[in-house]
């Protein structure tokens, strides 16, 4: 670590120059038998201001904020960004199932802990077998059943599995590959945030049924049967379903679909028209949506965005969402 002299000297400048960075900071916490005691804090550094007449800094650690008097700092150095912790598989499975509940397919059939789903080809999420557990039969047999279900419902065989999970590895071991032909890409980032953090008292026109303008902005015109079922069908597990609009409902500046399942608000179909761009319309719509979810019992917001959409990833990162896990679409060899 680099020495940090007492406040008023070069050390203060050193601390100020690292504000906003991730640091390892050593500081005095007292004495024992006449000898000073030290401890370390690792996290993002910020100016803590003056507290009870003492100048401080704050380190945002994984366990919470640590406030340190500047004159207690003995060393500080910048450290690399933390490696994100992988979410437990039980949490990944729960969230993936919750997102499937919020996006109801036309046809669904259980296969052990897997969910076979079809919706006339509308969206990958509603036309894939969700593999987040034990199918109750061998993987090869399960994939044969997936093929049969897909053929029965006139859709392509496809598996949705969390990236890097044992379920994904088992399917890939049978020769299935990432669906390179899937638009907008075969891998999707599942993002989460606390509704309370994003919520604001932003006016949000939200109805129980989508307007013609909402449909036009979302799917380009009147919906087909599958689109209407997936987007406007109140699935068995959806507690609240809403269709948000910014601006004139007949000619909206932006639209969003909202579904509350358990304690999560599933946000999808966020689209900003040309007239609503570069005016903060999307950000305001998300803030209003988070408030709508809070008022209906949701604590967390969850959404899914393709990793091949850098603009979308940047938008959500700027709002403060974080990646919970990724999933990808797998298809039989020759179909990718």
Q: List CB contacts of 309: < 8 A, sequence separation 6 or more.
A: 184, 185
CA nearest neighbour of 305 among 275, 255, 271, 254? 271
Write the DSSP string, 87-124: PPHHHHHHHHHHHHHTS--SEEEEETTEEEEESTT--S
Q: Distances in Å between the alpha carbon of 146 and those of 44, 137, 160, 332?
A: 47, 12, 11, 11
Question: Is residue 330 domain-resident?
Answer: no
Question: Is residue 332 domain-resident?
Answer: no
Question: What is the overall mean pLDDT for the chain?
Answer: 91
Residues 220 and 305 in one domain: yes
Say if residue 2's pLDDT is above 70. no
Predicted pLDDT at 275: 80
Percentages helix, strand, coil for the chain, rounded to the nearest 5?
A: 30, 35, 35
Question: Is residue 148 domain-resident?
Answer: yes
CA distance 270 to 319: 14
Question: Over the stretch 141-183, which tens digit does the pLDDT of each residue have?
Answer: 999 999 999 999 999 999 999 999 999 999 999 999 999 888 8
Least confident of 118-127, 180-189, 324-333: 180-189
Q: What percent of the chain stands above pLDDT 90?
A: 77
Burial pattern 209-226, b for ≥16 Cβ within 10 A else e, equals: ebbebbbbbbbeeebeeb
Q: Distances in Å between the alpha carbon of 29 and those of 40, 71, 145, 198?
A: 10, 11, 62, 36
Contact 45, 23 (CB under 8 A): yes
CA distance 329 to 253: 32
**Final residue before a domain boundary, out of 186, 213, 228:** 186
Say if residue 90's pLDDT is above 60. yes
Question: Is residue 334 domain-resident?
Answer: no
Predicted pLDDT at 280: 86
Contact 166, 86 (CB under 8 A): no
Largest CA distance in the chain: 79
Say if residue 197's pLDDT is above 70. yes
For 243, half-sphere exposure in the C-beta direction (CA atoms, 13 angstrom radius) is 19
Question: Is residue 294 domain-resident?
Answer: yes
Placement of tokens 């509350």 in the chain: 260
Q: How many CB atoms lie within 10 A of CB 124?
A: 22
CA distance 176 to 330: 6
Question: Is residue 83 domain-resident?
Answer: no
**Final residue before a domain boundary, out of 169, 186, 203:** 186
**Final residue before a domain boundary, out of 49, 78, 107:** 78
Provide the CATH number for the domain around residue 58: 2.30.30
Question: Over the stretch 97-128, which tens digit does the pLDDT of each residue have?
Answer: 999 999 999 999 999 999 999 999 999 999 99
Predicted pLDDT at 189: 96
Placement of tokens 């990958």 in the chain: 124
CA distance 313 to 101: 23
Domain count, the chain: 3
Mean pLDDT of 21-45: 92
Q: List CB contacts of 33: < 8 A, sequence separation 6 or more.
A: none
Mean pLDDT of 272-285: 86
Mean pLDDT of 210-238: 95
Domain limits for position 126: 89-186
Question: Is residue 335 domain-resident?
Answer: no
Mean pLDDT of 84-109: 94
Burial pattern 302-332, b for ≥16 Cβ within 10 A else e, equals: bbbbbbeeeebbebbeebebebbbbbbbbbb
CA distance 50 to 56: 6
Q: What percent of the chain stands above pLDDT 70?
A: 95
Question: Is residue 124 domain-resident?
Answer: yes
């Amino acid at each position: 670590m680099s020495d940090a002299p007492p406040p008023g000297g070069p050390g203060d400048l050193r601390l100020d120059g690292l504000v906003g960075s991730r640091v390892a900071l050593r500081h005095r916490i007292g004495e024992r038998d006449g000898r000073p005691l030290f401890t370390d804090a690792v996290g993002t550094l910020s100016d803590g201001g003056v507290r009870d007449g003492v100048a401080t800094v704050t380190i945002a650690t994984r366990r919470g904020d640590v406030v340190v008097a500047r004159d207690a700092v003995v060393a500080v150095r910048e450290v690399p960004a933390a490696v994100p912790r992988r979410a437990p598989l039980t949490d990944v499975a729960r969230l993936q199932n919750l997102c499937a509940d919020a996006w109801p397919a036309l046809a669904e059939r259980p296969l052990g802990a897997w969910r076979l789903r079809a919706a006339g080809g509308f969206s990958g999420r509603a036309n894939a077998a969700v593999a987040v557990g034990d199918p109750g039969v061998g993987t090869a047999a399960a994939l044969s059943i997936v093929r049969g279900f897909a053929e029965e419902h006139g859709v392509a065989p496809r598996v949705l599995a969390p990236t890097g999970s044992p379920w994904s590895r088992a399917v890939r071991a049978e020769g299935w590959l990432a669906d390179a032909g899937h638009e907008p890409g075969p891998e999707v980032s599942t993002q989460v945030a606390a509704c309370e953090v994003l919520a604001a008292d932003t006016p949000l026109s939200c109805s129980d049924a989508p307007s013609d303008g909402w449909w036009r902005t979302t799917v380009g015109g009147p919906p087909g049967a599958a689109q209407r079922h997936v987007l406007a069908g109140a699935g068995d597990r959806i507690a609240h379903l809403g269709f948000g609009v910014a601006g004139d409902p007949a000619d909206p500046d932006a639209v969003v679909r909202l579904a509350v399942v358990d304690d999560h608000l599933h946000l999808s179909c966020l689209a900003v028209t040309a007239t609503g761009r570069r005016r903060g319309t999307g950000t305001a719509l998300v803030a209003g949506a988070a408030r709508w979810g809070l008022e209906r019992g949701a604590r967390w917001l969850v959404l899914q965005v393709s990793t091949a959409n850098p603009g979308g990833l940047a938008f959500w990162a700027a709002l403060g969402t974080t990646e919970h896990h990724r999933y990808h679409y797998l298809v039989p060899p020759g179909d990718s």
